[in-house]
Amino acid sequence: MSKTNSFTAETRVSSVEAPTFAIYLMLAFGALTAVGISFALHAMYVGHDHVFGTTREVPWGILISGYAFFACLSTGLTIVASLGQVFGIEVFKPIVKRTVLLAIVTIACALMSISLELENPWRVPIYAVLSPHPESNIWWKSTIYSSYLLVLAINFLMLHRGNYKMARIFGTIALIAVSAANLNMKADMSLVASRQFWVEQYMPLYFFTYATLLGCSAVLFFNWFAYKVRGEEPDATITRALSAVGKLMMVLLAISAVFTGWKAYLGYNPSLSQNPEALVYLVQGDYSTNFWFGEVALAVVIPFIILAVSRAKGLTALSTAGLVCLVGIFFKYYDLVIVGQLVPHFHKYNIVNLPQYFSYTPSLHENMMLLGGIALAFTLFLFGEIVFNTPSKDA
């Protein structure tokens, strides 16, 4: 066989094997998703109070952290996609289609995470329609995010059909909707006893910064993942786009370093904070490992060093920085949801037998349900890659 024929045969084999591998990988992640859902069904059958680590004092657990993480991740992906399709920045256009797909996937995972956390999730769509309550933050949150998912789906369909004018319109609507939902998150999360951990005035900017940082991280990691699964290499336009995302990520990491440094400072100077007990517990107490390893090292320092050393070039370096940052920011959202609840609401009144801090440990059911949500993200992403062939140079 000639060299030319040999090369052609190898190309055919790789083009067949890559989709097959993607299908098998999708089925494997789908099986993990099914396992997570089976744990959720069991929890509904026996009762959440028997299998969840949450209590009356700590009503929100790791699944709420997963919801906040995925919701903010989808917000950030929409912001990154809007740079290309709404604001028309040329360098970001090649990654718009895959980024919108990721935004759809992650908001679906957010809705799954919070639905599995509820003991009667079917009540949300039923009573949100039959008895809407416009003064409720939760009603606004569920309504906005449900509408946002629908708008994103239409946006992606328009991109897939090549109707970029309509895609830009729906992309703009999605950006406005998710921005409103993100602004509402502070008020949404401050409803329970953790409110003392959410009242800082910088929180809206905090959420936008970390949402966009999450979006950049996911774009870098999932593009690498997609090309590895396909057995392909990105072309020059994709490479430039990912490098631009990496540079944007470096700027956001510098901003997030300021937020993290301020939180550390407040942890040692609690008198300057509205939530002194929670910050001391986070920075110096039992959750200090989460803070210094997760929020500082993984979410800020290590990704910034990787991007700086690589000069935001090279798909491996970019994807590594993205993955490390994603893991680190999950620590941040976990701490943000949980630690504030651990401070007893009436701790200032010296009530007899009231502990200094409550405790919370995620149960097996909660961890498996969260794993199912993460597996769902990979399942839906691989499904989108296989069915829609997302690489696109236009937006």
Asked, for residue 1, whether it belongs to a domain, the answer is no
Specify the CATH number for the domain of residue 64: 1.20.1630.10
Where helices occur in the chain by DSSP H, the ranges are 3-46, 48-51, 62-85, 96-117, 123-130, 137-161, 164-189, 203-230, 236-268, 276-283, 288-289, 302-310, 315-338, 364-388
Q: What is the CA radius of gyration of the chain?
A: 22
Q: Three-state SS for 304?
A: helix
Asked, for residue 7, whether it belongs to a domain, the answer is no
Asked, for residue 10, whether it belongs to a domain, the answer is no
Q: Helices H, strands E: what count in the chain?
A: 14, 0
CA distance 174 to 168: 10
Identify whether the C-beta of residue 152 lies closer than 8 Å to the C-beta of residue 100.
Answer: yes
Closest CA to 295 of 353, 339, 235: 339
Asked, for residue 6, whether it belongs to a domain, the answer is no
Percent of the chain with pLDDT over 90: 57
Q: What single-letter DSSP state applies at residue 363?
A: -
Taken as a whole, the chain contains a residue count of 395
Asked, for residue 5, whether it belongs to a domain, the answer is no
Identify whether the C-beta of residue 40 lies closer than 8 Å to the C-beta of residue 116.
Answer: yes
CA distance 286 to 291: 10
**pLDDT, tens only, 67-119:** 999 999 999 999 999 999 999 999 999 999 999 999 999 999 999 998 888 87
Q: Residue 71: give the domain boundaries.
A: 18-388
Closest CA to 102 of 326, 367, 252, 256: 326
Asked, for residue 393, whether it belongs to a domain, the answer is no
Confidence of residue 15 (pLDDT cuts 50, 70, 90): very low
Name the pTM for this structure: 0.89
**pLDDT, tens only, 273-314:** 767 788 888 999 899 999 999 999 999 999 999 999 999 999
Average pLDDT score over the chain? 86
Q: Specify the number of domains making up the chain.
A: 1
Asked, for residue 49, whether it belongs to a domain, the answer is yes
Asked, for residue 318, whether it belongs to a domain, the answer is yes
Average pLDDT over residues 186-212: 69
